[in-house]
Chain A
Amino acid sequence: MAYWDLNWYFNPLTSQDDYELLFQRAEELGYRGIALTFYQKDHFNLGNVPKPRTVGIDHVLAERRARQEKVKSESRKKKLFQKGQLEFATRLAIYLDTMEKAQMLSLNTQSFEFDIVSVEPQSDKLFQHACQNLDVDIITISCSEFSLPFQLKFPMISLAISRGIYFEVEYGPFISSEDKSIQVSNLLNLYRYTRGKNLILTSGMRVPEKIKRFTLPTLIRHPHDLECFVSMFGMSIENARDTISTHCLNVLNHSQARRTHKTVIDVMPIGKINRINELW
């Protein structure tokens, strides 16, 4: 079972060693891969679309790959067992509060260099636009607000599901906030509309500047913990498991199809190929 966490909010001020702590923790817990998210709240235009290398994500991942290669070559020399290594994806999360941003997104998301593109709509109209027209992979629904900025409607949600868009819920606020009733109520409402279909669960972890070992359990949880947590809201354990495994893989496939304009053949540089799984 391949568990993925598709939302770690990237912090450029965090050191590489602190990132290594988090990556090791994710490996220990059994995660197959994680996605580092750049959160775009300000306005941007086609001229200055954020990219993984300008934001700093590429640098962190390159360092990580270098260290992994070093560990791999050392264990090969000592003929030690090499366990599976963490895979990475990059994600752009857009705070969708104006129609201008939505129109700009509807023109062009294929050229974004991030693997996954997600939006967080802030009104009824924008939510409808995101479900009907936008070429994105995930719609984030923030459960920590007292009332959602838009009303959930069956036709819109069914349309988004038929287009292959997934709805994301972050479990971080459930751990950190004092009054959890608001989050639980919003999540129950969302589950009532989606019935667990096309729902993904992510940590929504905002990577802190300095990481201490004793805070790691509050940042990432074991996948089995999350299965039990989600099944509390009426889902079966199998469906709960899908929210952190199968659905996440489907999101990655959807993002690949989106970037390749749903063609059969794709061309990419050798450096971007996942060496473990795909290099011939």
Chain B
Amino acid sequence: MVRFKVRYVVGEVKPAQNGGRARFVGVHSGIIKEEILKVVMAQCGSFGAALLRPMQIKYWNPETLSLVIRVPRESASVLVDTLRIWDKIDSHSITWNQYHIGGTIRSCEKQMIQFDEKYVIGKLTED
């Protein structure tokens, strides 16, 4: 029996400047979580930060800049609305593109595979 419902938010972080991907190589999931909580605190206050305290960064790829965030179902809308105005990681400007929001990690896995395929094809055609 499933007691706690969650939502998985899948998306991509796009650097504001072209060729800025290399700056995020040293960024880890802890920094991402702190940055998101800072934005939530500024927008929604302590209550919003408390709602998103159980948030987890399930997957972060500093190469492709793709991200999967796990959050309780009741707080999913707060996270989605906050991510739209998230514009900084560690003093680097970024924008957030959300691709998918789902209830299971399996559906996120399918989306991530499609995303990675497009990324690889994009890289190959660049070269």
**Closest residue of B by beta carbon distance from A180:** B46
Q: Which of A195-247 contact B (CB under 8 A)?
A: 232, 234
Using Cβ atoms and an 8 Å threshold, which residues of chain B touch A250? none
Does A181 contact B50, Cβ atoms closer than 8 Å?
yes
A-B contact count (CB 8 A): 29
Q: Which of B12-69 contact A (CB under 8 A)?
A: 41, 46-47, 49-51, 53-54
State the interface size on chain B (CB cutoff 8 A): 11
| B3 CB within 8 Å of chain A | yes
Does B41 contact A181, Cβ atoms closer than 8 Å?
yes
Using Cβ atoms and an 8 Å threshold, which residues of chain A touch B3? 154
Using Cβ atoms and an 8 Å threshold, which residues of chain B touch A180? 46-47, 50
State the interface size on chain A (CB cutoff 8 A): 13
> Taking the nearest CB of chain B, how far is it from the CB of A163, in angstroms?
22
Using Cβ atoms and an 8 Å threshold, which residues of chain A touch B74? 234
Using Cβ atoms and an 8 Å threshold, which residues of chain A touch B50? 180-185, 188
Using Cβ atoms and an 8 Å threshold, which residues of chain B touch A179? 46
Q: How far is the CA of A265 from the CA of B47 in the complex (A)?
A: 49
Using Cβ atoms and an 8 Å threshold, which residues of chain B touch A189? 54
Q: How far is the CA of A154 from the CA of B53 in the complex (A)?
A: 21
Using Cβ atoms and an 8 Å threshold, which residues of chain B touch A185? 49-51, 53-54
**Closest residue of A by beta carbon distance from B40:** A181
Using Cβ atoms and an 8 Å threshold, which residues of chain B touch A192? 4
Using Cβ atoms and an 8 Å threshold, which residues of chain A touch B46? 179-181, 184
B66-78 contact mask (Cβ, 8 Å, vs A): 1 or 0: 0000000010000
Q: How far is the CA of A232 from the CA of B54 in the complex (A)?
A: 18
**Closest residue of B by beta carbon distance from A186:** B50
The 8 A-B residue pairs whose C-beta atoms are closest, nearest first, are: A184-B50, A181-B49, A185-B50, A180-B46, A185-B53, A181-B50, A181-B46, A184-B47
Chain A residues close to B by CB (< 8 Å): 154, 179-185, 188-189, 192, 232, 234
Known: A179-B46, A180-B46, A185-B50. 17 other contacts (CB 8 A): A154-B3, A180-B47, A181-B41, A181-B46, A181-B47, A181-B49, A181-B50, A181-B53, A182-B50, A183-B50, A184-B46, A184-B47, A184-B50, A184-B51, A188-B51, A192-B4, A232-B47
| 16 residue pairs from A and B, CB less than 8 Å apart | A154-B3, A180-B47, A180-B50, A181-B41, A181-B46, A181-B53, A184-B46, A184-B47, A184-B50, A185-B49, A185-B50, A185-B53, A188-B50, A192-B4, A232-B47, A234-B74
